[in-house]
Structures are given as structure tokens and as C-alpha cells.
Amino acid sequence: MKKSTLAIFAAMLLLFTACTIEAEKINYGADACHFCKMTIVDQRHAAQYVTQKGKQFKYDAIECLLNELSETGSENVKIVLVSDYMNPGVVTDATTATYLVSEEIKSPMGAFLTGFAKYDEAKDFMKSDKDKLYTWQTIKQKFSVK
């Protein structure tokens, strides 16, 4: 009886941990952008999202992610992550990140769009009057994401 109770508990624990929805690590140089199909190599501009069901979508640039979401909508998105420009290879929550559009920082697809984990760091990169800061809500509006 003890063994069967332990086996049931172990099976239930496995079921609960198997259902955890989380982002997978981006394999730079190997994974391809879901939107433009380019290989993801730039650790300062990559992005990804995970659906409510756990499906992974990886992008070589934040603008690819936003262009995809403008076509598909964002209602089934559970997790959205963008690279932190100040920490290459480290992703941050897209909904709390600050976005900078500046011709001083080139992004893979030419939108000059860069994500920062901290507002102050993004603000420090502003070099001209043409540079503009965005929140997650305002950058989604700029790219017409529903």
C-alpha cells in the first residue's frame, strides 16, 4: 500500500511539473527567427514569447516579434521576453522593459529598436532629439499589436 501511494504521488508530481510553462533558452547561431527565418545571432536584440499552451516562438529582433504579434494578436501570449541591451544574452520581461528607437543603435531588421531592463539605462543612450523611449504598451501601439 505504501508503494502504490508513493507511485501515485510521484506520478502526480511529474504531471504538475510537466505542465510548467516557461521560456526555453535561445541557441544563438542555431535557432531561426520565427518571423523572418534569419538565424538568431545578436544577443542584444533577440526576443521570444511563449503561448498559454507552452509553444515557443523565438525572434532575431524585437521588431520581428512585434510584427508577428501585429499579425496574430497577443491574446494567447503567456510570457514575452526581450534581450537586455546592457546584458547580452540575458532576457527581461518585455512588459516591464523600456524600448529605445535610436539610429545610434542598429538592430538586426533595421528598425533601430532596442530593449533595456532599466529605464535609466535606456535614457542614457538617448543621443539626439529624434531618439524616442517607449513602454511595452506604447511600442505595441507603434507596431499596431492587438
Q: Report pLDDT digits (tens) over 36-57.
A: 999 999 999 999 999 999 999 9
Give the pLDDT of residue 35: 97
- Tell me the pTM: 0.84
Q: With left for phi above 0 and alpha for psi between -120 and 50, is residue 129 left, alpha or beta?
A: alpha
Question: From CA 35, how far away is CA 22, in angstroms rounded?
Answer: 20
Instruction: Name residue 101's beta-bridge partners.
Output: 113, 132
Check if the beta carbon of residue 115 is closer than 8 Å to that of residue 75: no
Q: What is the DSSP letter of 133?
A: E
Q: Quick one: pLDDT band at residue 19, thresholds 50, 70, 90?
A: low
Give the pLDDT of residue 4: 61
Question: From CA 45, how far away is CA 60, in angstroms rounded?
Answer: 7
DSSP symbols for 44-86: TT-EEEEETT--EEEESSHHHHHHHHHHH-STTEEEEEEE-TT
Percentage of residues of the chain with pLDDT beyond 90: 81
Residue-wise pLDDT for 66-76, tens only, equals 999 999 998 89
Check if the beta carbon of residue 70 is closer than 8 Å to that of residue 144: yes
Give the pLDDT of residue 21: 83
Question: From CA 22, how far away is CA 36, in angstroms rounded?
Answer: 23
